[in-house]
Amino acid sequence: MAIIWYRVGFILLSFAVLVAHSAPQNALVSQLPGYSGSLPSKHYSGYVTINEATGKKLFYYLVESEGNPSKDPLVLWLNGGPGCSSFDGFVYEHGPFNFEKTKQGLPKLHLNPYSWSKVSSVLYVDSPAGVGLSYADDTSEYITGDLKTATDSHDFVLKGYMVGNGVTDEAFDGNALVPFAHGMGLISDDLYQETTRECNGNFYNPLERSCEEKLQEVDREVDGLNIYDILEPCYHDSAAKDATDIKIRLPSSFLELGATERPLPVRTRLFGRAWPLRANVREGIVPTWPELLSSSDVPCTDDEVATEWLNNEAVRAAINAEPKNVSGDWELCTNRIRFSHDAGSMMKYHRNLTMKGYRALIFSGDHDMCVPFTGSEAWTRAMGYKIVDKWRPWISNGEVAGYTQGYENNLTFLTIKGAGHTVPEYKPTEALNFYSRFLAGKAI
């Protein structure tokens, strides 16, 4: 199970179930503050107790399909981080509503025409305990890792899975940024050739000082960019201003307050929760942002809409969540867990699942510099499977929406043209298009 160091979407697909008959009636959500109409489908939410002795409880929010919930597939959505709430996906990416920030009061909710609940039931789970609205009475439960988190998850009748812009392998993803920056025209050909020569192609674990110096030069060249989408402006958090340690490799655009005159639609965040450049998955304890930056906030971010909504006690009561004095404040990405990356490369898990016949879609926004598509393309190719669908464009609404390559054993790699790290947030139409086709077992 891929629990990813970066904040990425990860979903599992199970057989269709009679969701309404499975969820307890006292979990039914009848209304949501900020939304005045009837809900587009039935919603259920509440807690599942994982460990009675320690009071470990995981919070879930279930959105029934707006189509035919008894026949449409059920999708489990898990955000990564580790430590980031799956309400990130609900509020900002593909949930049933678009959240509009208001000058006063709670955000206003509008129906999202590109919600993934148009074609499936979606189960959002805050995992592990300590993340989002999930909690434990015994705080020792907040010391966790890949394997412990996986064992907390209930078994599903799995049919397939999707991974969006997810870190998978230390070497492949760690080496992805330099080729990406060169391919996108962010660094010169001379610098690319010099860096490749000095590092001997090993960009993620420099052994020579000359290699480290070239990598620092690359970092300086991409310094002013929003690494979650290199085309987007970055709104900045002053908490990151003093983070200047070169080992952190945080772009300067995330270290100073900034502004943009570019109008952003309701769906788009004041965006850019950035991890350090080339901070790929490694064994051991994953540092939290406060540990990285000696501050209390994730830098370059404004997630006020979700924060205000989910910390409102009326909202919590409506969604059957515990009040703040029990489960704590909701944060996009928490610092209260101590997470160990103890599962190593995810490639062995992908191989195990695909060899068993499960369908896998690995998709990447092609303008994400945090987890560049070059790394995902490289590791899917390195699985060694025979190519059964050669590299080609895929089409959405009559336009090229990206590129795809299919392999034997039901493994598909897909890019989304112009999308950043959280694909449905940037390209909601195209995301719903490939999502619907994948669920239906159709070619993309």
- Taking CA atoms, 111 is separated from 40, 95, 144, 266, 377, in Å, by 8, 9, 37, 12, 34
C-alpha 182/C-alpha 305 separation (Å) is 36
Model pTM above 0.85: no
Banded model confidence at residue 33, pLDDT cuts 50, 70, 90: very high
The predicted-structure confidence for 41-93, as pLDDT tens digits, reads as follows 999 999 988 888 999 898 999 999 999 998 998 998 988 767 788 998 999 89
- The answer on pLDDT for 130 being more than 80 is yes
Residue 296, Cβ neighbours under 10 Å: how many?
A: 10
The position carrying tokens 């020569």 is 197
Q: What is the pLDDT of residue 336?
A: 81
User: What SS3 state is found at 302?
Assistant: strand
- The answer on pLDDT for 243 being more than 70 is no
Banded model confidence at residue 401, pLDDT cuts 50, 70, 90: very high
**Which tokens go with 357?**
């016949």
The position carrying tokens 């799995």 is 158
- The answer on pLDDT for 326 being more than 90 is yes
Banded model confidence at residue 412, pLDDT cuts 50, 70, 90: very high
Q: Who has greater pLDDT, 308 or 1?
A: 308
Closest CA to 168 of 361, 376, 352: 376
- The answer on pLDDT for 15 being more than 70 is no
Q: What is the pLDDT of residue 245?
A: 40
Structural contact between residues 237 and 299, judged by C-beta atoms closer than 8 angstroms? yes
Q: What is the pLDDT of residue 8?
A: 39
Instruction: State the average pLDDT over residues 327-353.
Output: 81
**Which tokens go with 276?**
């350090």
- The answer on pLDDT for 299 being more than 70 is no
Structural contact between residues 55 and 88, judged by C-beta atoms closer than 8 angstroms? no
Q: What is the pLDDT of residue 296?
A: 40
Contacts of 410 (CB under 8 A, 6+ apart): 160, 354, 357, 358, 359, 360
> What residue ranges do the domains of the chain occupy?
9-169+343-439, 173-280
Q: What is the pLDDT of residue 147?
A: 61
- The answer on pLDDT for 257 being more than 50 is no
Closest CA to 331 of 361, 309, 357: 309
Contacts of 356 (CB under 8 A, 6+ apart): none
Q: Phi, psi (5° rounding) for residue 145?
A: -170, -175
Most confident stretch, 88-102, 155-169, 339-353? 88-102
Structural contact between residues 174 and 204, judged by C-beta atoms closer than 8 angstroms? yes
Closest CA to 341 of 164, 204, 169, 203: 169
The residue count of the chain comes to 444
**What is the average pLDDT score of the chain?**
80
**Which overall architecture, per CATH, does domain 9-169+343-439 show?**
3-Layer(aba) Sandwich (3.40)
Closest CA to 113 of 356, 428, 324: 428
The predicted-structure confidence for 139-167, as pLDDT tens digits, reads as follows 888 777 666 666 666 545 577 889 998 88
**Secondary structure element (H or E) that encloses residue 145, with its range:** strand 143-145
Q: What is the pLDDT of residue 381?
A: 96
User: What SS3 state is found at 15?
Assistant: coil
Structural contact between residues 119 and 67, judged by C-beta atoms closer than 8 angstroms? yes
Banded model confidence at residue 281, pLDDT cuts 50, 70, 90: low
- The answer on pLDDT for 297 being more than 50 is no
The predicted-structure confidence for 178-220, as pLDDT tens digits, reads as follows 999 999 999 999 999 999 999 998 998 888 999 999 999 999 9
**Secondary structure element (H or E) that encloses residue 62, with its range:** strand 56-63
User: What SS3 state is found at 318?
Assistant: helix
- The answer on pLDDT for 254 being more than 70 is no
91: DSSP letter: I
Q: What is the pLDDT of residue 6?
A: 34
**Secondary structure element (H or E) that encloses residue 406, with its range:** strand 399-407
Q: What is the pLDDT of residue 151?
A: 62
**Which tokens go with 169?**
């392998």
